[in-house]
A = this chain, B = another copy of it.
Amino acid sequence: MRNIIDELTSALGPAKIAVDPATLAAYAVDQAPVLDYQLPQAVVRAESVADVQATVRACAARGVALVARGAGTGVSGGAHASEGCVVLSLERMNRILDLNPDDETAVVEPGVINADLNAAAADHGLMYAPDPASFKMSTIGGNVATNAGGLRCAKYGVTRDSVLALDVVLADGTLIHTGHQTFKGVAGYDLTGLFVGSEGTLGIVVGVTVRLKYLPREVHTIAAFYPDFRSAAAGVLAVGKARVQPAIMELLDGGSLAQLDDIHGSDLAARGASLLLIQTDGFGAAAEAAAIRPVLAAGGAVVTMEANAEAEQLVELRRNSRGTEVDDEYRVGEDVAVPRSRLVDYVAELEAIAAEHRVQLKVVAHAGDGNLHPTFWIDRVDNAVDADAMARLGAALDKSIAVALAMGGTITGEHGIGQYKLRWLGLEQKEPVRELQRRIKELFDPAGILNPGKAI
């Protein structure tokens, strides 16, 4: 049998296969900390469903691992190369195949960038609702494979809620179509939902049919600055108690504000120790904003009367609040979610954990969903850290996970398990549930070639 590189080259043509060291290194990791650095044998940049099928078949025939990759913006290591693997990039399959403004649906290739789909939809008064903060970079295929959340998911739901149908290449190269082109459909088991969030371990997503929602005509943005982080978290609950559903409810702590100021020259940290950013939308946007403002003020917030443009600029900053640093083993971003009522308690625990273990902490949260992104890190001196600091970081991370679980939370609200969070999965899910998942994996991918060592 030819080796995998020769086979791929002959099947797909040399222009789609890269084996040069620079490309291999560029496609070796996503934006997550790396536990086990591996270079792929080759990178395939597929341009068609047939390319994907040929790649899968070549790997299947040789038992070579295959790691699907969108934009590589994942932060759980789902797209990290595994040993001896081929990385299959879907980035060139970036066509919007159909956008039907009357059906309010679109059919896209997996490599379409989230923001590009939204731009195309906006021409028709429509939007693709799930908007991860990475929406200008990440792909719809990657969003589907991670069941990405985002800012406006509090009101509009996560990726799963917008996906109607999928085209998937299975581990043996078979192409299947799941789901329905209609808004609703319940024929048979929900295979579409099973592939959503499966992080490239059950099949390669090569086509996505999505439902579009109406682009709101009106948007109101409220910036509420609080004297401390816990009061800001309490503000989220107060809005809930008022039974008003904002489209966006984002929480930023002091560390996040300081970082935004650093990067953008803003003066957020001077205005408060924590910011709750709320956006209402639709026909009721103004009335909702009017109902929310006094609730926030009553909780101790300074509620700005920004012009909408100015407040929207803050949302734009928030979308970039991960900053420019890529997580690594010294700097780990988490993705826990807790039941909403525990938000304030959890935020207090995070602050206590950081202090106790003497590690740095900043937090942003999709607070409407109870989904928090604490980042814990330790400072490097001369690009090195001592073992004690590493141990403290590890302990802080473990503690933050344990506390979230004890509150009825989850270890991952939207980023996925990938490679990095595998060590915590057993704390959340009991053995019979994990075993069921292993058996589903075995059913779809008996040889275990699809993204081994990830997700489950």
Contact = CB atoms under 8 A, between A and B. Distances in A.
A183 B410 CA distance: 10
A394 B425 CA distance: 52
A157 B213 CA distance: 12
Identical chains in the assembly: 2
Contact of A436 (B161, B176, B243, B291): B176
A439 B240 CA distance: 43
A142 to B, nearest CB: 13
A139 to B, nearest CB: 17
Given A243-B215, A340-B104, A429 B187 contact: yes
B193 A160 contact: yes
Contacts of A284: 282-285, 287
B187 A237 contact: no
Given A409-B182, A412-B185, A102 B240 contact: yes
B184 A102 contact: no
Given A282-B284, A443-B439, A338 B187 contact: no
Interface in A238-255: 240-241, 243-245
B337 A370 contact: no
A177 B100 contact: no
Nearest to A404: B182
A204 to B, nearest CB: 15
A103 interface: yes
Nearest to A455: B188
A202 B178 CA distance: 19
A157 B160 contact: no
A198 interface: yes
Contacts of A215: 243
Contacts of A104: 240, 340
Contacts of A178: 433
Interface in A14-68: none
A432 interface: yes
Interface stretch (A111-119, A146-154, A296-304, A352-360): A146-154
Given A104-B240, A176-B436, A283-B291, 20 more contacts: A100-B339, A102-B241, A153-B184, A177-B430, A178-B433, A180-B410, A182-B369, A183-B369, A185-B410, A186-B413, A187-B410, A187-B421, A188-B425, A188-B456, A189-B437, A190-B193, A193-B193, A283-B288, A439-B443, A443-B443
6 contacts: A177-B430, A180-B337, A182-B413, A185-B337, A189-B198, A214-B244
Going nearest first, the 5 A-B pairs with the smallest beta carbon separation are A283-B284, A284-B284, A193-B193, A102-B341, A182-B337
